[in-house]
Amino acid sequence: MPIIIPRRSANDQPSKLVAPLFGVYYGLSDITDRRASPAELIQLLTKIRRSDALRWLASMMGWVSDHTALIPSNQLAMAEAMLPEHLRLALRQHIQRTEPATWCIFHRRQIRLLLQMAVLSCSENTPTEPV
């Protein structure tokens, strides 16, 4: 009896990486010269309704889990959609100043940490704030 396997499993060639394994991850302190603390994060998260935070983070997780998420142009698209204008401008200026080959501002580990912090900090009893 023949065993049927997908064509991609039968190929001996490894799949191409969409981005190099090594690059630069930019945090808030790199872009704005301001450090954020876990206490500030928790304080901000307590103002958000848990279901709203989880819905937003689940959609972000889908976005950053895509195999092309680490490509700089896709990172810029995420920044355009997610960051306020002053942070987008600061990010663009920082990238132009440093000119790294590979960089990242959104990644899975970051969103997983936010997800854990939201589960611990947010409450369903928090009133929904208009956006």
Give the pLDDT band of residue 100 (cuts 50, 70, 90).
confident
Q: Is residue 6 part of a domain?
A: no
Q: Which domain holds residue 35?
A: 25-121
Q: Is residue 100 within 8 Å of residue 23, measured between CB atoms?
A: yes
- Per the document, the length of the chain is 131
Q: Is residue 78 part of a domain?
A: yes
Percent of the chain with pLDDT over 90: 42
pLDDT of 47-93, one tens digit each? 999 999 999 999 999 888 888 888 888 999 999 998 999 999 999 99
Tell me how far the alpha carbon of residue 65 is from its chain's centroid: 9
* CA dist., res. 131 & res. 55, Å (int): 14
Kindly give the interhelix angle for 38-45 and 108-121, rounded to the nearest 10 degrees: 60
Name the domain count of the chain.
1
